[in-house]
Amino acid sequence: MAKRSVCKFFAYALCILLSIIILLPLGWIILNSLKTNPEMFMDSLALPESVQFVNYVNAWNKGLYQYFGNSVFVSAVSLIMILTLSSLLAYGITRFRAKGSTLIFLIVLGGMALSEQVALVPLFKILNATGLYNTYAAVILPYIAFRIPFTVFLMRSYFISIPTELEEAAIVDGYNSLQIFLKIIIPISKPIFAACAIVNLNFVWNEFLFANVFLNDKTLQTIPIGLMTFKGDLRTDYTTTLAGLVIASLPLIILFFCMSKQFVKGLTAGAVKG
C-alpha cells in the first residue's frame, strides 16, 4: 500500500512538472503580449502596468485576419474530407471481409512510412502540371492524402471494438450498409471522430512545409506562413507579434479543452481489441 502511494505521488509530481514546463512559455507569451515594447524589454517577467489589449486588435488588423481565414478554410475542408474518406475506408476494411481487404489495409498503412520531404519534389511537379500550384487545392489535397493512413489506423481499431450484434439487429430491421454506418456506427463513434479531428487539425493548422512551397500568393497563405511574414513586417513590434501568436494558438487550445474527454476515450477505446 505504501509502495503504491509513493508511485502515485511521483506520478502526480511528474505530471505537475511537465505541466509547468509546458505552460510557462505559453504564460510568458500571453503576459508579454499584453505589454508595450519598452515594458517587455525592461522586465519580461513583470506584470504589465496597463493591459494592452490593443496589441491583439493591431495584430488582427495588420493582416492576421486573412491568414486566419485561409487556415480556417483549408483546415475545415481538409478535416471534413479526411474524416469522411478515412471512416468509410476503415469501416469497409473491418466489416466487409472481401478478398484483398487485408492487403488494402497494409497498403494504406504503407502511406504512414512516406515522408513529406521525400514527396515534396514529385508533388511540386504534379501540381505545376495540373495547374493546381498556388491554389487552396495545392495544400488541401496533400493534407488529405498524408493524413488518411494514420486516421484509418485509429478508426479501424475503434470499429473493431464495436459489437457486430448491433449491425446484425439493424440488418433484421431492414437497414442497408450505408444506413447502418450513418445511423449506428457514426453516433457511437463520436470519441474516435473527436480524437482524429484534434490530431489532424493540429497537423493541418500548423503545417509549414507544403504551405511554404505550394503557396506563393500572400492572399492564400495560412497561419504558419503568415506568422513568418507577419514577424518580418513587424520586426520591431514584438508585443504585437506575440499577440498574433496567441490568436493563432487559440483555436487548437479551445478545441482540445472542449473535446478532451472524447479525445482520451477515442484513443484508448480500441486499444485492447485493435
Q: What is the pLDDT of residue 236?
A: 67
The answer to whether residue 206 scores a pLDDT higher than 50 is yes
Q: Binning pLDDT at 50, 70 and 90, where does residue 164 land?
A: confident
What's the average model confidence in pLDDT over 117-146? 92
In terms of phi and psi (left: phi > 0; alpha: psi -120 to 50; beta: otherwise), the region of 99 is beta
What's the rounded Cα separation, in Å, for the pair 125 and 117?
A: 14
How crowded is residue 49: how many other Cβ atoms within 10 Å of its Cβ?
10
Residue 1's pLDDT band, with cuts at 50, 70 and 90, is: low
Confidence of residue 214 (pLDDT cuts 50, 70, 90): very high
pLDDT of residue 102: 76
Q: What grid cell was written down for 236?
A: 520591431
> Residue 271: what pLDDT?
47
pTM for the model stands at 0.85
Checking if the pLDDT of 197 tops 80, the result is: yes
Which residue ranges make up each domain of the chain?
54-268
Q: Average pLDDT of the chain? A: 85
Is the separation of the CB atoms in 271 and 157 below 8 Å?
Answer: yes
* CATH numeric code, 54-268: 1.10.3720.10
> Is pLDDT of 99 > 60?
yes
